[in-house]
Amino acid sequence: MRDALKLILIGLSASGLGGCTYQAIEVDAPDVPPRSAVDEPEDWEKLLPGQIEQVRSAVKEWRDFDAAKAAGWKPFGGEEPLMGRHYYNDDAPDYQFGDALDFSQPNNLMYAEIDGRLTLTGVAYVVRIGPDEPVPAGFAGPEDEWHVHDLIDSINAATEDRPFLRSLASWWLNDTYFAKGDYRHRLAMVHVWTEWPNPDGDFANYDRTLPYRKLGLPAEWAGGVSLETARGVHLASASGCKDVIDGKAWVGNFSRKQKKALRSACKAAADRVESQIERGPDALNRVATIAWQDYQATYAAVVSDEQQRRIAAMTEHSHHAH
């Protein structure tokens, strides 16, 4: 797992490697019989609270970001709206299909900038699974909401017009995994929100209260809002437009003209949202919804279907557990 993260880090940091399209990376994995998901224990409702408490106890030492940094936790990608930024550690477990999770050993931490400092928001467990393997058993019960990133699909999307980087990625994948008979290139991930109640549950993919916390607003202002509204509120944060544009711009290899148009539209939307903060939650949430819709309309008009296809290959696909 840590090697997979390193590869994506190389890709995210390698800009300007333009060129013609290149042959997609493909995997000639051996056929394996379909595997069945693990049945949940009948007493999962009794087991689950203790498992979550193990997670929360384990991350107490990482609430101090300086301590986490000194211990080797390093950033992976940028900050994701409603989520935070992921951090990995070379010494964290490389969970693979069939491994039981050690709830005291997450292999991702998540931080977001709140009140000018990096604040722990939760953790993630990432498990490498093969093409025909189901998401892990994970936590007891059906509530852990796993999603899967296909590493090869993601790399192919990000390197479609970056032939040198694709060639490097192909070599690395073969040398690190495929030549050794390891074809577990799908990354199954589940989040656990550890620092405050998430209105959508401990395992939700997103926390819609996070944009409000980043702006120093009461979390209660997020009560009942949609993810769309919360994304609109996020635009008004210090890095709001950077967070929603830069990652997609790199994957889609946007032109300067495209980036300029998106930044202009995003700034206009962010200014509208920021102007409503003093007017209270109703006004803020109403304008944030419209502002996000307007920005999305510009995005749909500016970004080509082909670029959107590439970006979609990087997105998280929800998989209900087991």
Q: What is the pLDDT, as a whole number, of residue 112? A: 96
- Lowest-pLDDT range of 10-19, 50-59, 61-70, 171-180: 10-19
Q: What is the pLDDT, as a whole number, of residue 27? A: 80
Average pLDDT over residues 229-255: 96
Residue 22 pLDDT > 70? no
Residue 13 pLDDT > 80? no
Q: What is the pLDDT, as a whole number, of residue 23? A: 83
Taking CA atoms, 266 is separated from 75, 83, 112, 293, in Å, by: 25, 19, 20, 11
Average pLDDT over residues 147-173: 90
Residue 239 pLDDT > 70? yes
Residue 80 pLDDT > 80? yes
Residue 34 pLDDT > 90? no
Average pLDDT over residues 253-268: 97
Quick one: pLDDT band at residue 36, thresholds 50, 70, 90?
A: low
Taking CA atoms, 319 is separated from 11, 32, 53, 103, 138, in Å, by: 26, 21, 24, 20, 13
Question: Which pTM does this prediction carry?
Answer: 0.88
- Lowest-pLDDT range of 4-8, 55-59, 83-87, 192-196: 4-8
Residue 65 pLDDT > 60? yes
Average pLDDT over residues 112-129: 95
Average pLDDT over residues 11-27: 55
Residue 132 pLDDT > 90? no
Domain boundaries along the sequence of the chain: 2-207, 211-238+255-302
Q: What is the pLDDT, as a whole number, of residue 2? A: 46
Q: What is the pLDDT, as a whole number, of residue 30? A: 75
Quick one: pLDDT band at residue 232, thresholds 50, 70, 90?
A: very high
Quick one: pLDDT band at residue 41, thresholds 50, 70, 90?
A: confident
For the chain, the average pLDDT equals 89
Q: What is the pLDDT, as a whole number, of residue 17? A: 36
Q: What is the pLDDT, as a whole number, of residue 10? A: 42
Average pLDDT over residues 195-199: 95
Q: What is the pLDDT, as a whole number, of residue 256? A: 97
